[in-house]
Amino acid sequence: MWDIVLAYYLGDLKSDEECPREANARALKYPSGNDFFEALKDIAEIHKRFDDAYRRLFATVGLDFDCTPPSILFDALVTMVNQLPDQWLNWLRFNLREFCSHAEIAAGSNLPRRLSGDNLFVLSFGVILA
């Protein structure tokens, strides 16, 4: 889920892109998706880049990532996800069904039921950042 949010809001994800991979790399300030993939070996660097991206993302809605309670950050994330263009909401739903079949999405929502302010910053490879 973070891939699409960061790609759209920070990585200048375009409607003609088929996948947010390159835009997600841009959001994390990597020159390309391949550079991001290569960097996965350096977990400390990945942590720093995601933390920086979260700070920049939430700053766009006037929130201080380091001082704002997780429940408020979560509410802001829900708003950001709900404001994604249909193309990227559909991409998100499809990928959640394909790769996270256990991630049930509640009716009227675009986020998995289990996602909350308490587990908001878990990366896909299972590292908790906040």
What's the length of the chain?
130
Distance CA 23, CA 10 (A): 8
Local confidence band at 104 (pLDDT 50, 70, 90 cut-offs): low
Local confidence band at 12 (pLDDT 50, 70, 90 cut-offs): very high
pLDDT in tens, 20-60: 889 999 999 999 988 988 888 888 888 899 989 999 999 99
Query: What is the dihedral angle through the alpha carbons of 14, 45, 66, 130, rounded to the nearest 10 degrees?
Result: 100
Q: Give CA 105 to chain center in angstroms.
A: 16
Amino acid in position 12: D
HSE-up (13 A, CA, CB side) for residue 70:
10
> What's the confidence (pLDDT) of residue 125?
35
Q: What are the sequence ranges of the domains in the chain?
A: 2-99
